[in-house]
Amino acid sequence: MSEMAAHSAHPQGFAHQFEDVGQQRDAGRLGMWIFLATEILFFGGLFTAFIIYRALHLPAFIAGSHQLEVQFGATNTAVLICSSLTMALAIRSAQVGKPRGTIIFWLVLTMLFGAAFLGIKLHYEWLRDYREGLVPGFGFNVAKYTPGVEMFFCFYFFMTGLHALHMVAGIGVLTVLIIMAARNAFSSEYYAPLEISGLYWHFVDIVWIFLFSLLYLIGGRYAQ
Amino acid sequence: MSNDSEHARHTEYSEHIVPVATYVGVFFALMIGTALTTWVAYIDLGRWNTVVALAIAVIKMILVVLFFMHVKYNKGLTRIVILAAFFWLGIMITLSLADELTRHWELNPAPWSVLLPYLSRLF
């Protein structure tokens, strides 16, 4: 009886400035979403500039877009969707009180998918782009490609580069979560860090969904 | 008695657990969306290529937000923040486009000296 009283007075992770655990969870989610709102506008600035320059230089941007290989962009989109699924399953396994091994399993899978995304990007896309003279400022092939194409690739590397930076940060967060899970920090009562990091990870996935559509596919690929 | 009410206060809130089947269903919907948007890009729809690509991207985003990010099971305040963020993004894009696309600058603007004949109108 006294044990139950002690348990109910201190659910795991409960901070006493909140009314109850439910309010604490809502507050955590709300805070994360406000941060994600700032991130939406952060990427939004680049998207806005891209939209404007594409409207002003459509043929050059289509030519630039056609230098990208759709198969790698599409594969990367699939990889990130898989990582979002494994992240959601990691949070769910904590919610239903699975052992820490299960949580760690899903988190490690998420990390592997994230690393695969970065590997494909770096090796199959950016390295090839560099060798073909498509990286502005690093041996851009001005003889072969017009200034409009160079502008497209400025946007391409800034936007995918900023996104990749967010992926790296996300992988860092996942590492911390795995260490926390290994130390038995999570339970069906307390999984807030997992849920909050999940929101960040899904957001980075959504940004890539739009990057893929705008950079690889806009303008259509039927002219090739 | 006070023990019971305290117990209820701290543990009455139970999270909605999303079934694995829902997650897997959303996963397949996202994969199909990706395949669809890639496939449509190779078909000539003229101006509609852009519309279709963006529409599919928005649907995928809504699926991720509602299910993977649990917004479907969250309180209204979270949704207001999300809608506000997209509203502000809309303002930024709309007003920037309204500015840029209505400028109608010539590709080779004339030098400032063409204004000299009009100088007399200032006085």
Average pLDDT over residues B8-30: 78
Q: A177 φ, ψ to 5°?
A: -65, -40
Q: pLDDT tens digit string along A12-27? A: 788 888 888 888 888 9
Which residues, including other chains, have CB under 8 Å from residue B104's CB and lie 6 or more apart?
none
Residue holding tokens 């003229």? B46
Q: A134 φ, ψ to 5°?
A: -115, 5
Model pLDDT, residue A21: 85
Verify whether the Cβ–Cβ distance A95 to B37 is below 8 Å: no
Domain of A83, CATH number, reads: 1.20.120.80
* Closest CB from B44, B85, B93 relative to A37: B85
**Averaged pLDDT score across all residues of chain A:** 91
Name the minimum distance, in Å, from the CA of A85 to any CA of chain B.
6
What span, in angstroms and rounded, lies between the C-alpha atoms of B16 and B40? 37
Examine residue A109 and state whether it is found in any structural domain, yes or no. yes
Examine residue A69 and state whether it is found in any structural domain, yes or no. yes
The pTM (predicted TM-score) of the whole model is: 0.87
Asked if this assembly's ipTM is beyond 0.90, the reply is no
Examine residue A187 and state whether it is found in any structural domain, yes or no. yes
**Per-residue confidence band for B27, with pLDDT thresholds at 50, 70 and 90:** very high
Verify whether the Cβ–Cβ distance A51 to B38 is below 8 Å: no
Query: For residue A41, what are the domain limits?
Result: 19-217
Model pLDDT, residue B108: 67
What span, in angstroms and rounded, lies between the C-alpha atoms of B73 and A12? 22
Residue holding tokens 């000299």? B116
Three-class DSSP labels, B63-85: HHHHHHCCHHHCCHHHHHHHHHH
Do the Cβ atoms of A188 and A121 come closer than 8 Å?
no
What span, in angstroms and rounded, lies between the C-alpha atoms of A153 and A147? 10
Q: pLDDT tens digit string along B62-89? A: 999 999 999 988 878 889 999 999 999 9
- If one counts the domains in chain A, the total is 1
Q: pLDDT tens digit string along A74-123? A: 999 999 999 999 999 999 999 999 999 999 999 999 999 999 999 999 99
Examine residue A145 and state whether it is found in any structural domain, yes or no. yes
Please give the distance of CA B108 from its chain centroid, rounded to a whole number.
Answer: 36
